[in-house]
Copies of this chain bind each other. A is one copy, B any other.
Amino acid sequence: MTDYRRLRVALLGAGAVGSQVASLLRRHGDELADRAGAHLELVGIAVRNPDAPRETDLPRELFTTDAEQLITGADIVIELMGGIEPARAHLLHAINSGADVVTANKALLATHGPEIFEAADQVGAQVYYEAAAAGAIPIIRPLRDSLAGDRVQRIMGIVNGTTNYILDRMDSEGAEFADVLADAQRLGYAEADPTADIEGFDAAQKAAILASLAFHTTVPLDAVHREGITGVDKAMMDAARHAGYVIKLLAVCERLTESSEVRSTSSGVSRYASAPLLDNRTAYRDAISVRVYPALVRRDHPLASVRGANNAVFVQAEAAGNLMFYGAGAGGVQTASAVLGDVVSAARRHIAGGVGVGESTRANLPILPIDAVTTRYQITLEVDDQPGVLATVAGILSDGEVSIATVEQTVRSEPVPGNGGAGAEPASDTVARLVIGTHKAREANLSATVDRLAASGVVERVVSVLRVEGD
């Protein structure tokens, strides 16, 4: 074999991803050496308990509790511990010891990314994190490098496998949220505490990472508007299907331009300073919005056909047009693929020399609050089925600057046996369902209008308010 230089690789964490990374590093060592131009020597694996039973054939002597010592002298450090501490401290230590670092830690990058990137810049190290968003799907390099000469206008991502699995089964089986969630937990698609997934926290972290890359702007996690899927029920799913839509939890990263306004620029102290957050009515020329919520997606949109626990990222760029990246969003061995790609890249960079390329954040675009975002909406109301109700509802919408695109009215009688059902003459106890599709409306206007609808005498119940994305 070629006489390659040896690079010392330290692994932090031996969970589902870490054990696969270690195993593949050892199993495909010669192959990876040929690709990297360096022998990748796994020098140790830092874990809390080296003697814990593990489903791997990794030799016991690789394991250590002394992460700090393992990191010292390593050329490449792979952080797969998850969580903020001690992962953050270890990564900073690794960077300051001269190592390049590979991490899949989206929570850490979404909250402490600037600190990590800044430290890497100081010493010329490089941070690799292909596995931190959308698992095995190569999306970081396409955004960071391939699209670096283009202007990304919009990303719509299905970036959380658990919620897509749940929504997909609700859609295809007509099942209720709680039943599918319980099933997903039993099958290992959802964790015992599913909060991070179903409340959209995981997707929000990934959205912050993708938006930072796409818009060359440091997007802090708290600038990401987040709603989960716990409010999505069978009735909403059925109504969506009936109207030709499917409900997906989307991470939407959008660039907005108001050509007539003057951009409010703020010059950050650090290259990685967070972008300024605009309030609702500040004028801007270019701004961005980053948000996670369940939204209606037309059945013929490519994202609608993303089934099960898969992920997909749909990117619209000024020059490139529409692109989509599809694949497994999670899973130990799938994520290990992304991690190992980063390890090979880090090794190649080590051999090639030069300093790391920092993150591109200098666009520093201001970030809009959700109230200033405009989207289309679908509002479903239960109203008294009486003359003049539609006129009242339309008037409230019009007063609120929400323009109606479509209205569908269905009459639903109370289920009195022998009554004749939906075809009977409307009586005063009959309820009509109004499904209103709006033109693009400003969120602030929309939510104020929905409040006024709910308080009006004619609306019995606001059944659902969903944004429509991807038209």
Contacts and interface: CB of A to CB of B under 8 A. Distances in A.
B354 A334 contact: no
Interface stretch (A86-94, A108-116, A340-348, A412-420): A340-348
14 contacts: A31-B151, A34-B363, A35-B362, A36-B148, A138-B138, A138-B145, A302-B305, A319-B337, A320-B334, A320-B337, A321-B331, A323-B325, A324-B326, A352-B355
Interface string A126-155: 000010000011101110011111110000
Contacts of A324: 324-327
B338 A35 contact: no
Contacts of A333: 319
Contact of A145 (B34, B149, B341): B341
B146 A341 contact: yes
Number of copies: 2
Contacts of A322: 327-328
A362 B34 contact: yes
A20 interface: yes
A288 B268 CA distance: 52
A359 to B, nearest CB: 10
Nearest to A40: B149
Given A148-B344, A319-B336, A31 B363 contact: yes
A337 B142 contact: no
Contacts of A320: 136, 327-328, 334, 337-338
A426 interface: no
A149 B357 contact: no
A409 B334 CA distance: 43
A140 B146 CA distance: 9
Q: Which residue, A147, A339, A342, A355, has most C-beta atoms of chain B within 10 A?
A: A147
A320 B334 CA distance: 4
A348 B355 contact: no
A319 B138 CA distance: 13
A28 interface: yes
A402 interface: no
A470 interface: no
A355 B353 contact: yes
A37 B355 CA distance: 13
B340 A349 contact: no
B149 A24 contact: yes
A346 to B, nearest CB: 10
Closest 10 CB pairs of A and B: A149-B340, A354-B354, A138-B146, A353-B354, A138-B142, A319-B337, A320-B337, A136-B320, A34-B362, A148-B344
B336 A32 contact: no
A348 B357 contact: yes
Interface string A291-332: 000000000001001000000000001111111111110010
A284 B343 CA distance: 30
B136 A343 contact: no
Contact of A354 (B2, B349, B360): B349
A39 interface: no
A94 B225 CA distance: 48
